[in-house]
């Protein structure tokens, strides 16, 4: 069953109000995404994994993935597309502060794309269901870098620039090899398998009762 983005936000908020906090949803989302990625790649030990992280909760999922991938022995670099002080949500900020205590994960901020290494894997945690309008900098440069870099690409929730509700694309958008979306499939995502690559919807522990009155 495919749901709307509005329904997803309402379910998320209802789950949060029941006490299954968005922080727990984010943790389960990041963990499920890493499981699929590691299953696909077989082994990420000492692989260079570059994670682009937006300032919202799509980015937050990417921060959770960074921590899990470090646990699998990957060489993880996180590029936050802004200033840490401007991270939008408590749950995303929570994950950023954990990474600040982890020398095993390299943290970069601001969004420049001249890296001194070639990534084996890029994770697109730039934009998810919160996308609106033309893609602004530094998100645009990050998307362009992803598209011009030849490596395995993984999209968190949805390829950035693809509207998960309508399936329409913004002026620029990523083209990925795998996409993992969360809880239930959003209506627009399966319309662009050419951008999502292999597509999965993973449960993240939201109580089914959180859908009552919404679905």
Which residues of the shown chain bind ligand NPW in the complex (CB under 6 A)? 8, 12, 25-26, 29, 54-61, 88, 127-136, 139, 156-157, 182-183, 204
Q: How far apart, in whole angstroms, are the C-alpha atoms of residue 109 and residue 91?
A: 18
* Burial class for 153, CB neighbours closer than 10 Å (0-12, 13-18, 19+): buried
Q: Which of 203, 161, 165 is nearest to 181 (CA)?
A: 203
46: β partners = none
Confirm or deny that 150 is annotated as ligand binding: no
State which residue has the least CB distance to ligand NPW.
Answer: 128
Q: How far apart, in whole angstroms, are the C-alpha atoms of residue 8 and residue 182?
A: 9
Chain residues 104-133 in contact with K ion, contact rule CB under 5 A: 124
Confirm or deny that 60 is annotated as ligand binding: yes
Confirm or deny that 132 is annotated as ligand binding: yes
Confirm or deny that 188 is annotated as ligand binding: no
* Closest approach of K ion to the CB of residue 54, in Å: 7
Out of 160, 165, 181, 196, name the contact with K ion by CB under 5 A: 160
3-state secondary structure (DSSP) of residue 60: helix
- Binding site feature residues for K(+): 58, 124, 160
Binding residues: 57-61, 124, 128-134, 139, 157, 160
């Amino acid at each position: 069953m495919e749901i709307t983005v509005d329904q997803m936000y309402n379910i998320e908020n209802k789950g949060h109000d029941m006490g299954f906090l968005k922080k727990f949803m984010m943790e389960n989302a990041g963990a499920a995404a890493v499981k699929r990625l590691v299953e696909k790649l077989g082994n990420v030990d000492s692989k260079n994994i570059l994670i682009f992280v937006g300032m919202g909760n799509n980015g937050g999922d990417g921060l959770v993935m960074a921590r899990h991938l470090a646990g699998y022995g990957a060489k993880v670099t996180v590029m936050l597309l802004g200033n840490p002080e401007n991270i939008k949500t408590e749950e995303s900020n929570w994950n950023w502060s954990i990474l600040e205590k982890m020398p095993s994960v390299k943290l970069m901020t601001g969004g420049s794309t001249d890296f001194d290494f070639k990534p084996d894997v890029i994770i697109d945690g730039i934009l998810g269901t919160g996308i609106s309008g033309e893609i602004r900098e530094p998100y645009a440069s990050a998307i362009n870098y992803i598209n011009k870099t030849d490596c395995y690409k993984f999209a968190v929730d949805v390829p950035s620039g693809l509207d998960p509700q309508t399936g329409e694309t913004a002026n620029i958008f990523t083209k990925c090899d795998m996409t993992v979306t969360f809880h239930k499939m959003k209506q627009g995502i399966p319309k662009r398998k050419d951008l999502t690559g292999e597509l999965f919807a993973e449960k993240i522990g939201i109580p089914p009762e959180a859908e009552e009155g919404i679905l």
